[in-house]
C-alpha cells in the first residue's frame, strides 16, 4: 500500500464534507441539477457536456483542488453521466498551462492492439469493412483514458481516491436522465443487442424516458477498483480480466499484455504565435494543433477582421485554408512515433505561402489541384471537451472520446463501460473514408502499438503568457475547423465568448468536396458561396459543442457552455 494511497484514505475519512464520506451533499445531490450556460466568476470554472460533471469539478475546486484535480474529477463523472462520449474505455488529450508557467500536453490516445495488422479490415476481395472498424469488438483500440487520468494526477493536489468519489456516487446512486439522454439510449437499443455478449444496464425492454434514474452498479464497482488499486485497478486484475474475457467472447484483439503495456505519453505542446497571442495545442497523434497552426497562419496577413463575420469574403477565405490544411492531413499526418510527420515543413511560412499561391478570392481552387503540397521530406462524431481554470491561474483543456456515440456499442460484460471504436480513425485502406469522411494513407496506416490519428484540438490561447482562452469541442474532423472559428471569432471579429462558440459554424475538409453549414448560417452567404462555385453539403442541425473560458482583462473568468447540448458551467 503506497503512502499516497494511505493519504487518500485518511483524507476520505476526515475531510469529506459529510460524515457518510460523500462529496455530493444534500445541497447538491445528484437528482437536482439545472443547466447553467454562462457565468462570470472570480476564481474557478468548469465547463463540460453535463451539469453533474461540471458540478463534480467545482466541488473538487472548492475542496482545495487545482484545475488538474477538477479536470480528473470531471472526466470521471462524465464517464458515468455522459456515456455517449465520457469514458473509461476510450482515450483523449490534455493541454495545460500551469500557473508556474509550465506547459503540458498529455497523450492518452488509444493504441492498436499487438495483434492488429495493416489490412485487418480488408477481405480477400480487397474490400475494406468500415462495419468492422466501427462496431463491436474488433473496432476497439487499447483504452488510454485511465492511464491519462493517473498520469495527469502528478500535477494534482488532492488524492485520486477523493477525485473519483463523485463518479462513484453518481454511478451507485444514479441520476435522473434528461429527455435527450432517454432518446439517445432508445436509439441505441438495436446496436446494443447486436454488439454485446452480456446485455448492459443501458439495454431494456421498455423505452427510457426523461426522469428515469440510471444506476450503474457494475461501473461503480470498476471505479472502486481504481479507487483502491490505482491504475492497476483498471489495466490489471479483475477489470483487465473482464476486458479480455469480453474480447474472447466477441473475437476482439485486446490482450492482458496489451492492457499492462499501455502508457500515457507526455508530448511537447504544439505552439505558435498569432498576432501577439501564443496558441498552445495538441501535437501528434492529434492533427488538431498542426491543422490549427496551418489555418491560422494562412489567414494571418489577410485582414479577416475587416471582412466581417460570416461575410462571403471571410467564409470563402477560411474555407480555402481549411481545404488546404485537410489535404495535407490526408497524406502527412499520423502517429509521429511511427511516421516522420514533417511538422516544421508543413508550417514553414514559405510552404504556407506556396499553398496559398493558387488562392483566388472569388472562386474555389479545384479540389484536384489542392492535392497535398509537396514538402519534400524524407522519411462521432461523439467526443467531449471540458475546459477548466482555477483561482491560481492553472488552465486545462481536455478532449476525450470513444469516437462514435457510445463507441463500439460494446460494454465490457460485468464492468459497465463502453469500449471505443477508435480503430476507425486509422486509415483502414488508402482512400477509404472513415466515419468522418476523412481519408489517409501510409502515415496513418494500422500498426501494432501505433496511435490512430485524431482531430481533437484542446487549445489554450495565451496573452502575455497567461491563459486568455481555454477552448475545445467534439465533432470528429470538424473539431479543428471549429476551434479555428472560435478563436478567430474572438480575435478577429471581436466577439464575446458566448457568441464566439454559439454562432452558426461551417466546415470544409477538402474531401468530400462540400461546404457544410450549420442551421442558422446566413442564407445570403450560402447563396454567395454557391454563386462562386462551391458545392454545398447538407445543412447540419448542430456542428460540435464547444466549451470555453475566456479570461477578461480584470481577471474575471467568463465561462460559457455550448447551447447545442445540455452542456453546463459551474464556477465560483
User: Could you list the active site residues?
Assistant: 383
Nearer to ligand GLY, 165 or 421 (CB): 421
Shortest distance, position 403 Cβ to ligand GLY, whole Å: 4
401 is a site residue for ligand GLY (CB under 6 A): yes
CB 423 within 8 A of CB 112: yes
Instruction: Kindly tell me which of 181 and 381 has the beta carbon lying closer to ligand GLY.
Output: 381
Site map for ligand GLY, 41-80, x if CB under 6 A? ----------------------------------------
3-state secondary structure of 387: strand
Nearer Cβ to ligand GLY (341/456): 456
The reply on whether position 135 binds ligand GLY by CB under 6 A is no
DSSP notation for 293-336: HHHHHHHTTS-HHHH-TT-HHHHHHHHHHHHHHHHHHHHH-S-T
Cβ proximity to ligand GLY: between 191 and 383 the closer is 383
Q: How far is the CB of 435 from ligand GLY (least distance, A)?
A: 8
Q: Are 45 and 571 in contact (CB under 8 A)?
A: yes
206: left (phi over 0), alpha (psi -120 to 50) or beta: beta
Task: Give Cβ neighbours of residue 565 (< 8 Å, ≥ 6 apart).
Answer: 49, 180, 542, 545
DSSP symbols for 483-552: HHHHHHHHHTT---HHHHHHS--EE--SSS--BEEBTT--HHHHHHHHHHTPPB-PPBS-----EEEEE-
Q: Taking the complex as a whole, how short is the minimal distance between the CB of residue 455 and ligand GLY, in angstroms?
A: 4
Dihedral sign for Cα atoms in the order 66, 71, 76, 81: positive
- The pairing of strands 557-561 and 568-571 is unpaired
DSSP state letters, 108-148: E--B--TT--TTTTB-TTS-B-HHHHHSSGGGPPBP-HHHH
* Cell output for 106: 498529455
Cβ-Cβ contacts under 8 Å for 531 (sequence gap 6 or more) = none
- Cβ pair 173, 30 in contact under 8 A: yes
* Between 74 and 401, CB nearer to ligand GLY: 401
Nearer to ligand GLY, 225 or 507 (CB): 507
Would you call the peptide bond into 23 cis, given omega within 30 degrees of 0 as the criterion? no
Q: Is 444 in the site for ligand GLY (CB under 6 A)?
A: no
Task: Give the separation between CA 169 and CA 166, rounded to whole angstroms.
Answer: 5
Segment 446 to 465, residues that bind ligand GLY, using CB under 6 A = 454-456
**Residue closest to 497 by CA, chosen among 37, 53, 21:** 37
Between CA 526 and CA 166 the distance in angstroms is 46
Name the grid cell of 103.
Answer: 506547459
**By CB under 6 A, what part of segment 356-395 binds ligand GLY?**
383
- Least distance (Å) between residue 415 CB and ligand GLY: 22
Q: How far is the CB of 301 from ligand GLY (least distance, A)?
A: 29
Closest CA to 386 of 54, 44, 123, 140: 54
Closest CB to ligand GLY among residues 69, 107: 107
What distance separates the 2 farthest-apart alpha carbons in the chain? 69
The three grid cell numbers given for residue 377, joined into one nine-digit string: 521530406
Residue nearest to ligand GLY (CB): 454
- 418 to 437: interface string for ligand GLY, x by CB under 6 A: -------x------------
Neighbours of 318 (CB within 10 A): 25
Residue selected from 476, 544, 565, 571 as contacting ligand GLY according to rule CB under 6 A: 476
CB of 417 to ligand GLY, least distance (A): 17
Is the N-terminal amide bond of 512 cis, ω within 30° of 0? yes
Give whichever of 61 and 439 is closer to ligand GLY, judged by the CB atom: 439
Closest distance to ligand GLY from the beta carbon of 87 (Å):
11
Select 227 or 399, whichever has its Cβ closest to ligand GLY. Answer: 399
Q: Which is nearer to ligand GLY, 171 or 343 (CB)?
A: 343
How near is the Cβ of 458 to ligand GLY at its closest, in Å? 11
Residue 396: strand pairing partners: 96, 388
Could you tell me how many residues of this chain bind ligand GLY (CB under 6 A)?
8
Contact (Cβ atoms closer than 8 angstroms) between residue 400 and residue 474: no
Residues contributing to the site for ligand GLY (CB under 6 A): 383, 401, 403, 425, 454-456, 476
Amino acid at each position: 500500500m503506497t503512502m499516497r494511497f494511505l493519504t487518500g484514505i485518511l483524507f476520505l475519512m476526515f475531510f469529506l464534507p459529510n460524515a457518510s464520506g460523500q462529496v455530493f451533499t444534500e445541497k447538491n445531490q445528484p437528482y437536482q441539477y439545472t443547466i447553467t450556460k454562462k457565468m462570470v466568476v472570480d476564481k474557478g470554472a468548469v465547463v463540460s457536456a453535463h451539469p453533474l460533471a461540471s458540478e463534480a469539478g467545482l466541488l473538487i475546486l472548492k475542496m482545495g483542488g487545482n484545475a488538474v484535480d477538477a479536470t480528473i474529477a470531471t472526466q470521471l463523472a462524465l464517464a458515468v453521466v455522459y456515456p455517449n462520449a465520457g469514458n473509461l474505455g476510450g482515450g483523449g488529450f490534455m493541454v495545460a498551462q500551469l500557473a508556474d508557467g509550465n506547459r503540458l500536453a498529455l497523450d492518452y490516445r488509444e493504441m492498436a492492439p499487438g495483434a492488429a495488422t495493416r489490412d485487418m479490415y480488408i477481405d480477400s476481395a480487397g474490400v475494406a469493412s468500415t462495419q468492422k472498424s466501427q462496431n463491436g469488438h474488433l473496432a476497439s483500440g487499447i483504452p488510454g483514458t485511465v492511464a491519462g487520468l493517473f498520469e495527469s494526477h502528478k500535477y494534482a493536489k488532492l488524492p485520486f481516491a477523493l477525485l473519483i468519489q463523485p463518479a462513484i456516487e453518481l454511478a451507485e446512486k444514479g441520476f435522473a436522465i434528461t429527455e435527450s439522454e432517454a432518446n439517445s439510449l432508445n436509439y441505441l437499443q438495436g446496436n446494443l443487442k447486436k454488439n454485446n455478449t452480456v446485455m448492459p444496464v443501458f439495454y431494456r425492454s421498455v423505452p427510457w424516458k426523461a426522469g428515469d434514474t440510471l444506476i450503474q452498479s457494475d461501473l461503480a464497482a470498476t471505479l472502486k477498483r481504481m479507487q483502491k488499486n490505482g491504475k492497476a485497478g483498471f489495466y490489471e486484475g479483475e477489470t483487465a480480466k473482464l476486458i479480455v474475457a469480453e474480447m474472447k467472447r466477441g473475437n476482439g484483439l485486446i490482450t492482458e499484455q496489451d492492457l499492462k503495456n499501455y502508457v500515457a505519453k507526455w508530448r511537447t505542446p504544439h505552439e505558435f504565435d498569432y498576432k501577439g497571442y501564443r496558441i498552445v495545442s495538441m501535437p501528434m497523434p492529434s492533427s488538431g494543433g498542426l491543422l490549427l497552426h496551418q489555418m491560422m497562419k494562412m489567414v494571418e496577413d489577410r485582414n479577416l477582421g475587416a471582412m466581417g463575420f460570416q461575410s462571403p469574403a471571410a467564409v470563402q477565405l477560411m474555407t480555402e485554408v481549411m481545404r488546404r490544411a485537410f489535404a495535407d492531413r490526408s497524406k502527412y499526418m499520423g502517429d509521429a512515433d511511427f511516421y516522420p510527420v514533417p511538422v516544421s515543413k508543413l508550417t514553414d511560412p514559405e510552404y504556407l505561402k506556396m499553398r496559398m499561391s493558387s488562392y483566388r478570392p472569388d472562386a474555389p481552387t479545384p479540389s484536384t489541384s489542392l492535392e497535398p503540397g509537396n514538402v519534400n521530406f524524407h522519411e462521432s462524431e461523439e467526443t467531449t471537451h471540458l475546459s477548466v481554470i482555477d483561482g491560481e491561474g492553472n488552465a486545462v483543456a481536455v478532449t476525450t472520446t470513444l469516437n462514435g456515440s457510445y463507441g463500439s456499442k460494446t460494454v465490457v460484460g460485468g464492468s459497465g463501460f463502453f469500449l471505443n471504436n477508435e480503430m476507425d480513425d486509422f486509415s483502414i485502406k488508402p482512400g477509404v473514408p472513415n466515419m468522418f469522411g476523412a481519408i489517409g494513407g501510409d502515415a496513418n496506416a494500422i500498426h501494432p502499438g501505433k496511435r490512430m490519428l485524431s482531430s481533437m484540438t484542446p487549445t489554450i490561447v495565451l496573452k502575455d503568457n497567461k491563459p486568455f482562452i481555454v477552448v475545445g469541442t467534439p465533432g470528429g474532423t470538424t473539431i479543428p475547423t471549429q476551434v479555428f472559428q472560435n478563436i478567430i471569432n474572438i480575435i478577429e471579429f471581436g466577439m464575446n465568448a458566448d457568441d464566439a462558440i454559439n454562432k452558426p459554424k461551417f466546415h470544409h475538409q477538402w474531401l468530400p468536396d462540400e461546404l457544410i453549414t450549420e442551421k442558422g448560417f446566413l442564407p445570403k452567404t450560402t447563396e454567395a458561396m454557391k454563386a462562386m462555385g462551391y458545392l454545398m453539403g447538407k445543412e447540419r442541425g448542430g456542428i460540435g459543442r464547444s466549451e470555453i473560458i475566456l479570461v477578461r482583462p480584470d481577471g474575471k473568468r467568463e465561462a460559457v457552455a455550448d447551447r447545442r447540448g445540455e452542456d453546463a458551467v459551474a464556477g465560483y
